[in-house]
Amino acid sequence: DAGVTQSPTHLIKTRGQQVTLRCSPISGHKSVSWYQQVLGQGPQFIFQYYEKEERGRGNFPDRFSARQFPNYSSELNVNALLLGDSALYLCASSLAEGVPTEAFFGQGTRLTVV
């Protein structure tokens, strides 16, 4: 079975631009979460989606938005990019919501804002 897949793997954007990152969860997993990992730090929670609905949001500005599709894949959008948005963006999928279950991460999208 394929794991969590993310695309693209690397991306370079200019300040002020917009970016869309994509994630396909493990087959059968209905929950997708997004995390931002700045170099040298642990991942920080951005969003969780389950059955196309937002279930949780971290302490990130409104420039960050996400959605989940009927096939449970997800997109993370970031508008008006800042230099500080440069990071590894990770998607995690898990079987269910609520009760903590194992979360499996993709390889991430490395976003560089110049």
Partner 1 sequence: QQQVKQSPQSLIVQKGGISIINCAYENTAFDYFPWYQQFPGKGPALLIAIRPDVSEKKEGRFTISFNKSAKQFSLHIMDSQPGDSATYFCAASGGFQGAQKLVFGQGTRLTINP
Can you give the binding site for partner 1, defined by CB under 8 A?
A: 4, 6, 31, 33, 35, 40-45, 48, 55-56, 58, 88, 90, 92, 94, 97-98, 100-108, 110
Task: Give least dist CB 16 to partner 1, A.
Answer: 27
- Per the listing, tokens 């059955």 go with 51
Least separation, in Å, of the C-beta of 71 and partner 1? Answer: 20
Cα–Cα distance between 8 and 109 in angstroms, integer? 6
Q: 6 vs 68, which CB is nearer to partner 1? A: 6
Burial of 5-28, coded b for 16+ CB within 10 Å and e otherwise, reads bbeeeeeebeeeeebebbbbbbee
Question: Do 54 and 48 form a contact (C-beta atoms < 8 A)?
Answer: yes
| Encoded tokens for 45 | 């929670």
In the bound state with partner 1, the residue whose beta carbon lies nearer, of 42 and 84, is 42
Whose Cβ is closer to partner 1: residue 14's or residue 42's? 42
